């Protein structure tokens, strides 16, 4: 296991030369994570996080325990708000990959397991549900009805959710969640390295109508301006710009060009025989409106955080990654979650067997104690009869 992990990390190291890693967090330095993550003080009732590997977490190999710790919620019935900052960047023209692991060890009944990506100017100390974010991604569970993966994008001052239902994992094991936004306006959601949903950002977020509405509005303005320009150009084509040679500005006043006789304006008709010097206005076609809007481009990405509610605490968040390289993210997932998923389930199975064994032993002990008490009572009754 250790050799395989080192090989995978070697691949990641080689790949990092090609990839840009904007943020990566594995909590490998103990309590120093508190220097990087800021707990919001917006509400004194916000729940607190601790570093934990959970109740089942790894595998014993040659007497060595592999521990992989993450941020764990600790208080029931609380809102949580915590974030980490990194160097701001824009994903314009680049792929954006957001990835992390989440483990609902407490068997989540109602609460969030999603993350949020924020602008660089987010106020970390006052982070709350009102803080503007760019992207919200991850599982949300509540009762029997809500078991979904949120993918919410901020566009034109509004939040837009993916219209396709994406079901999340509901067991108590660690799962790897990956969101990929590509510059060609396609996306993909992966869970545990497997593609779960994909498609067009434009259509799967119902942004087509907004795009068309803005484009139509822009085109309408452009057409109106173009027609006005044409009419003005037509008028200016027929200005008599030649000032008489004997014109005296002091005696005759300022020269004003007179209109030549012209035909009525017709679209597409061009005046003939007019000297090019009379052309006083150059028609400029307005092409400022966008044919493609920045549906998944964010100019000032600079923070990642957890802002959520949980009825029952115990969720563990780990292996955060933001990069522009899909292959690097895949290798990183294999080197982290990929190395712990099997041992985690093995440890859980071992613990489950031990719990069953312990419960059986306790039942047998209670049964034996019951029989012993019964025998004692019979002995007392028999002894009393002898005394009588």
CATH fold for the domain made of 21-207+296-348: Jelly Rolls (2.60.120)
Q: Is the pLDDT of residue 316 over 70?
A: yes
116 annotated as belonging to a binding site for a ligand: yes
How does pLDDT run across 14-46, given as a tens digit for each residue? 555 689 999 999 999 999 999 999 999 999 999
Q: List Cα–Cα distances, 319 to 121, 165, 301, in angstroms.
A: 24, 25, 19
Place of tokens 């061009």: 270
Residue 53 pairs with which residues in a beta bridge? none
Give the whole-angstrom CA distance, residue 304 versus residue 88: 11
114 annotated as belonging to a binding site for a ligand: yes
Q: What is the pLDDT of residue 81?
A: 98
Residues 6+ apart with CB under 8 A from 107: 171, 172
Q: What is the pLDDT of residue 18?
A: 82
Mean pLDDT of 263-274: 49
How does pLDDT run across 187-221, given as a tens digit for each residue? 999 999 999 999 999 999 977 655 555 555 555 55
Q: Where are the domains of the chain?
A: 21-207+296-348
Place of tokens 């915590």: 82
Helix 2-16 × helix 337-387 angle, to 10°: 150
pTM exceeds cut of 0.75: no
Mean pLDDT of 73-102: 97
133 annotated as belonging to a binding site for a ligand: yes
Average model confidence (pLDDT) across the chain: 79
Which residue, among 297, 294, 288, has the nearest Cα to 225 in the 3D structure? 288
For residue 8, how many other CB atoms are within 10 A of its CB? Answer: 18
Distance of CA 312 to the CA centre of its chain: 23
Q: What is the pLDDT of residue 286?
A: 34
Residue 78 pairs with which residues in a beta bridge? 310
Among 275-279, 296-300, 365-369, the least confident range: 275-279
Task: Extract the tokens encoding 90.
Answer: 């824009």
Task: Extract the tokens encoding 256.
Answer: 């004003």
């Amino acid at each position: 296991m250790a050799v395989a992990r080192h090989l995978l990390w070697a691949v990641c190291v080689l790949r990092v030369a090609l990839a840009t890693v904007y943020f990566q967090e594995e909590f490998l330095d103990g309590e120093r994570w508190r220097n990087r993550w800021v707990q919001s003080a917006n509400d004194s009732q916000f729940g607190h996080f601790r570093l934990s590997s959970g109740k089942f977490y790894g595998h014993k190999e040659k007497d060595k325990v592999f521990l992989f710790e993450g941020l764990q919620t600790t208080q029931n019935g609380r809102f949580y708000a915590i974030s980490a900052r990194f160097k701001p960047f824009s994903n314009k023209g680049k792929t954006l990959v957001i990835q992390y692991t989440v483990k609902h060890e407490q068997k989540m009944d109602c609460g969030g397991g999603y993350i949020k990506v924020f602008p660089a100017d987010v106020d970390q100390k006052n982070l709350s549900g009102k803080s503007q974010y760019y992207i919200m991604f991850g599982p949300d569970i509540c009762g029997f009805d809500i078991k979904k993966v949120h993918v919410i994008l901020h566009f034109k001052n509004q939040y837009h959710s993916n219209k396709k239902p994406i079901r999340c994992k509901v067991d108590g094991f660690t799962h790897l969640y990956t969101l990929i936004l590509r510059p060609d306006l396609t996306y993909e959601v992966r869970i545990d390295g497997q593609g779960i949903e994909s498609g067009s950002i434009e259509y799967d977020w119902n942004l087509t109508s907004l795009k068309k509405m803005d484009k139509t509005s822009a085109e309408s303005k452009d057409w109106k301006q173009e027609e006005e320009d044409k009419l003005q150009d037509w008028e200016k084509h027929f200005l008599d710009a030649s000032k008489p040679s004997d014109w005296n500005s002091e005696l005759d006043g300022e020269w004003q060009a007179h209109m030549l006789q012209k035909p009525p304006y017709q679209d597409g008709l061009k005046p003939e025989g007019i000297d090019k010097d009379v052309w006083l206005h150059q028609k400029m076609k307005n092409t400022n409106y966008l044919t493609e809007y920045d549906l998944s481009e964010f100019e000032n990405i600079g923070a990642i955080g957890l802002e959520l509610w949980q009825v029952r605490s115990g969720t563990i968040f780990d292996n955060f990654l933001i990069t522009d390289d899909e292959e690097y993210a895949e290798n990183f997932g294999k080197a982290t979650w990929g190395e712990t998923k099997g041992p985690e389930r093995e440890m859980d199975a071992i613990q489950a067997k031990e719990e069953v064994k312990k419960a059986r032993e306790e039942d047998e002990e209670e049964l034996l104690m019951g029989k012993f008490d019964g025998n004692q009572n019979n002995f007392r009754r028999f002894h009393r009869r002898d005394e009588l």
